[in-house]
Amino acid sequence: MYDSPRYQTTTTVVETTEYIGNDGPAVRIEFPRLDCEYIRTLGGIMKIVCIVLCLLTFIFVMMGPAYYTGVGWATFVSSVGIFVTTSLLTLYLFRVVDTLPSINWIVCEMVYCFAWTVFFFIAACVLAVASSQFRGTFAWAIAAFFAFGAMCAYGFDCYLKFLSWKNNERATGGSNPVVIQQQQRRNNFV
C-alpha cells in the first residue's frame, strides 16, 4: 500500500567566503564643528531676522491681555517659528546639512517658509483686528506689525529657497567657496 516514501530529504551545502580588507571602516563619521561663516550669508541673515521678528511678535503678544482666543494662534505661530528657525540655524552653523546630503534641505525649508508666511499673515490679521476691537491692546498692534514683518521675511526667504531649488543648488553650512567646491567634488565621486 505504501510503496514510495511520502517525503524526500535534500541536503544543500552553502559555502561562503568573507574577505576582510585593511581599507578602514566603510562609513566615515564626521563630527559637527561650529562654522560662524554661515551667519554672514544671506540665508543666515534671513534666519536671524526671522528669529528676531518671531521673538518680538511673541513678546508683544504676551504683553497683551489673554481674553481673545485668536491671539493663541499668534502665540503658537511665533513660538514654533522661533523653535524651528533656531533649530535650522543650528543645523547650518554646525554643518549638519553637509553631512546629510540625502535630505533635500532647500525644498524642506521652502515648504516651511511658505507655510509660515501664510501662518504669519493669518496671525497678523487676527492681531490687527483684535487690537482695534478691544481696549488696552496696544501691544497686540505692535505684535501685528512685527508679525507682518515676519511674514515678509519668511516670504522673502521662501523666494530665495525657490531660486536655489530652480538652480539645482545644494544647501551648505558655510560661505567658503573652497569648502563648497571640495564638497561638490566629494559628492561627484560618491
Higher pLDDT, 115 or 11: 115
DSSP-derived secondary structure for 164-178 = HHHTT----S---HH
pLDDT of residue 189: 57
Average pLDDT over residues 89-112: 90
Longest dimension (CA), the chain: 102
Integer Cα distance of 19 and 126 in angstroms: 67
pTM: 0.74
The domain spans of the chain are: 36-169
**31 vs 85 pLDDT, higher one:** 85
pLDDT at 97: 86
C-alpha cell at 54: 518671531
Backbone angles phi, psi at 143, to 5 degrees: -65, -35
Asked if residue 87 has pLDDT above 50, the reply is yes
Instruction: Tell me the per-residue pLDDT of 110-160, one tens digit each, with 9 for 90 and over.
Output: 999 999 999 999 999 999 998 888 787 888 999 999 999 999 999 999 999
- In percent, the amount of the chain with pLDDT more than 90 equals 47
12-16, 153-157, 171-175: the lowest-pLDDT one: 12-16
Helices 138-166/42-63 angle, 10° precision = 160
Which pLDDT score is estimated for 81?
96
